[in-house]
Amino acid sequence: MTWAIVINPTSGQGKGAEVGRAVVGYFGKHDLKYQIITGKSAENVSRDLRSFLHANQECEGVLCVGGDGLAHLVLQAVVPLRIPFAVIPAGTGNDFVRALKWPLDDLENLLNIVTTQKPTPIDIGLVDGEWFGAVLSSGFDSVVNEKANSLKWPKGPSKYNLAIALELPRFKPSHFEINLDDRTLSTEAMLIAVGNGSSYGGGMRVCPNASLTDGLFDVMVLAPISKAEFIKVFPKVYSGDHVHHPEVSIYRSKKVKINSSAIAYADGERVGALPISAECVPGAGLTWRN
């Protein structure tokens, strides 16, 4: 049977091409049958992957070599078909890999496990018909994502930090209506994060206790705080200690509906304007966890 190796050569400032060559070399060394899928646009890659999977319905699995954006694209194709997938970290954030508990620098071990062991089911989020693996969010971070995507410089994680510096002085909290399994919240908030995985933005553990196997989202709500307080608290998101701040609330819910005059992002990809409806779908994905 054949594997699909989907490569984004430009991810991680060219790391995708480097890691892609290493993955292909591993498959050649071990006499594993594979098909490389790559392209200049997400549309082309998605089309070619779907065509390949349609023609190879017994596909052994799909390896996506890139960042969270490529993983997000691959999810749309493999989850409905129940085809196993693995994410090979080669992007800027690699947050879905972090959620799967893989180190970011142990390619050989990751490939050994993927090619010799059976995959296991994990939960996948579904927001208005679109699958996501890590975090769905709205509020300040979505505004920052919008700004970062418009910047041509700098490259890498520093682009996100620059976007924060540009947007924070003029940011204002929004009013959100949030429907959970057991309650409805009507509140002003700076940020709403719906975590299937625990982190986004390259290791920001916004929902530090989120699990890929519990059938529930962790929903983090940050109430309005001063700009000075935000700057003070922000570094704690990398350890997850921000959850102890009195203006941070965590809820657990299988389904979430959010309405506001804001936009949403999932896995760093633009979902669009609210309202949105999301559901944690237990066991919807098949992958390898460390």
Asked if residue 72 and residue 176 are part of one domain, the reply reads no
Tokens of 130: 């679109």
pLDDT (tens digit, 9 = 90+) per residue, 39-95? Answer: 878 999 999 999 999 999 889 999 999 999 999 999 999 999 999 999 999 988 899
> Which positions of the chain have pLDDT values less than 50?
none
CATH code, 268? 2.60.200.40
Query: Residue 22 is part of which domain span?
Result: 3-118
pLDDT at 159: 80
The structure's pTM equals: 0.94
Asked if residue 153 and residue 241 are part of one domain, the reply reads yes
Asked if residue 174 and residue 229 are part of one domain, the reply reads yes
Residue the block writes with tokens 């704690």: 236
CATH code, 77? 3.40.50.10330
Asked if residue 169 and residue 63 are part of one domain, the reply reads no
Three-class DSSP category at 156:
coil
* Interatomic CA distance for residues 237 and 4, integer angstroms: 35
pLDDT at 183: 97
Quick check: is 288 in a domain? no
The 3-state DSSP composition of the chain as helix, strand, coil percent (nearest 5) reads 35, 30, 35
Asked if residue 260 and residue 158 are part of one domain, the reply reads yes
Quick check: is 290 in a domain? no
Q: Which of 93, 118, 143 lies at the terminal end of a domain, its last residue?
A: 118
pLDDT at 93: 85
Asked if residue 176 and residue 91 are part of one domain, the reply reads no
Domain count, the chain: 2
Quick check: is 125 in a domain? no
Asked if residue 155 and residue 47 are part of one domain, the reply reads no
pLDDT (tens digit, 9 = 90+) per residue, 145-169? Answer: 888 888 888 876 678 788 888 999 9
Asked if residue 73 and residue 146 are part of one domain, the reply reads no
Burial class (CB in 10 A: 0-12, 13-18, 19+), 238: middle
Tokens of 220: 């983090």
Asked if residue 59 and residue 112 are part of one domain, the reply reads yes
* Interatomic CA distance for residues 139 and 175, integer angstroms: 10
DSSP one-letter string for 219-260: EEEE----HHHHHHHGGGGGTTGGGGSTTEEEEEESEEEEES
